[in-house]
Amino acid sequence: MGPSGGRGGTSFLGVVRCSAAVVGTLLVLLVGAEAGLRMIRLVRPPRAVLDPKFGWRLNEYITRRYSARRADGQPYEVSYHTTRDGFRFWGEPPGGRFSLLVVGDSYTEAYQVSDLRTWYWRLRERLGPEWRLYAYGCGGYGMLQEYLLLREYLEEIDPTLVIWQWCANDLWNDSPFLDSRTIKSFNVYPRPYLTAQGSVALGFPHGGALLAQHSALWLWLLPRAVRKLRLQPSRYDVYDFSLRPIREGFDRLGVIAGMASRFLAHRRVVVFNVGGVPEFNRRLALIARRSGFEWIGGLNEHLQRLREQGVVVDAHPSVGGHWCERGHEEVAEFLYRKLAGRLQGLTAVAPVVND
């Protein structure tokens, strides 16, 4: 081999060594970051943890104190706690003849307000001292996860009344096709989905199963990277019922609600929805009524009227948006007005129609 060939071979080996050094350095950094994040979580446990049944769930006995802001920038302090199994409230206050079980997503988790400022605690106060409260909400949950949670705890809690908070995002959350193509509720955790055979199986809408199940760094980094990139909405991020996946997603919600209705057949269940366009809410109301649930409509319109009047009901995007303290107060009062007259006869089950 001539001199030029020798130099070419030497150059190639140099590139290989350099590439190996870069890859090795990156691996060391990634392993170090993974180990460091896990060490931090030993000292400060995460708010949510992986769960084989629900995909993820709120960590139990977590305490957080932090400053939040209303949408207009006005600051306030938040004292956030979870109790047994990640519930925000578990049978509080003790005693009382009646029990209220509240289940929902991030609007019920209510990370933006203190425990005693949540809409369900305020509602319990309005209902009176004979009511004890059980409340669980988890950011990103879909209707199926909330149904699974009801199945898990209904017999033990034996509630007098169930309030089930639905959300517009349920349409995307409960469809594996839509969930993997939307930025409305970006999720890196495994999520349970209803299969064509009617069973429940975990799926991974973003990223592989290996990373989602075993890498704390991946679960921390990916959603932050997506928020920074500000990805553009896809064609499926709108309420376009001419699209087959959107219609199928709605049909899936109907199936899940039907499953829940059979399980909750002898329970009093009240449902209300957060967000969505009028057509979306009209269809959800039909699903609720066909399932034998009591539907309370009009909340979104009520809050929008308050916004137009200059009342600040929302939290600042820096704390995830949703409702601020005034918003929770308004929601509690709205629900109480709809329910108060009907709760005098607790054994009677009749639809509440408030469109």
Q: Using 50, 70 and 90 to split pLDDT, how confident is the model at 320? A: confident
- The CA distance from 30 to 351, in Å, is 55
- The CA distance from 315 to 296, in Å, is 23
- Tell me which residue of 32, 31, 13 sits closest to 21, measured CA to CA: 13
Q: Is the pLDDT of residue 142 over 60?
A: yes
Q: Using 50, 70 and 90 to split pLDDT, how confident is the model at 3? A: very low
Residue-wise pLDDT for 143-157, tens only, equals 999 999 999 999 999
Query: Residues 267-286: what's their mean pLDDT?
Result: 94
Domain residue limits, the chain: 15-44, 48-339
Q: Is the pLDDT of residue 71 over 90?
A: yes
User: 48-339, which class in CATH?
Assistant: alpha beta
352 or 130: which leads in pLDDT: 130
Q: Where are the alpha helices (DSSP H) in the chain?
A: 3-43, 106-109, 119-127, 143-157, 170-173, 176-179, 209-214, 216-229, 244-263, 278-290, 299-308, 325-339
- The CA distance from 224 to 46, in Å, is 15
Query: Residues 87-113: what's their mean pLDDT?
Result: 96
The two tokens of residue 194 are: 């209803």
Residue 268: Cβ-neighbour burial (10 angstroms; 0-12, 13-18, 19+): buried
Q: Where are the alpha helices (DSSP H) in 199-243?
A: 209-214, 216-229
Q: Using 50, 70 and 90 to split pLDDT, how confident is the model at 179? A: confident
Residue 328: Cβ-neighbour burial (10 angstroms; 0-12, 13-18, 19+): buried
pLDDT of residue 120: 99
pLDDT of residue 354: 46
Query: Residues 315-328: what's their mean pLDDT?
Result: 94
Query: Residues 201-216: what's their mean pLDDT?
Result: 69
Residue-wise pLDDT for 15-25, tens only, equals 777 777 767 77
Close Cβ partners of 340 (under 8 Å, ≥ 6 residues apart): 126
Share of the chain above pLDDT 90, in %: 62
Q: Where are the alpha helices (DSSP H) in 44-163?
A: 106-109, 119-127, 143-157
Taking the chain, what is the end-to-end CA distance rounded to the nearest angstrom?
86
- The CA distance from 111 to 52, in Å, is 24
Q: Is the pLDDT of residue 2 over 50?
A: no
Phi, psi of 51 (to 5 degrees): -145, 130
31 or 45: which leads in pLDDT: 45
Q: Is the pLDDT of residue 98 over 80?
A: yes
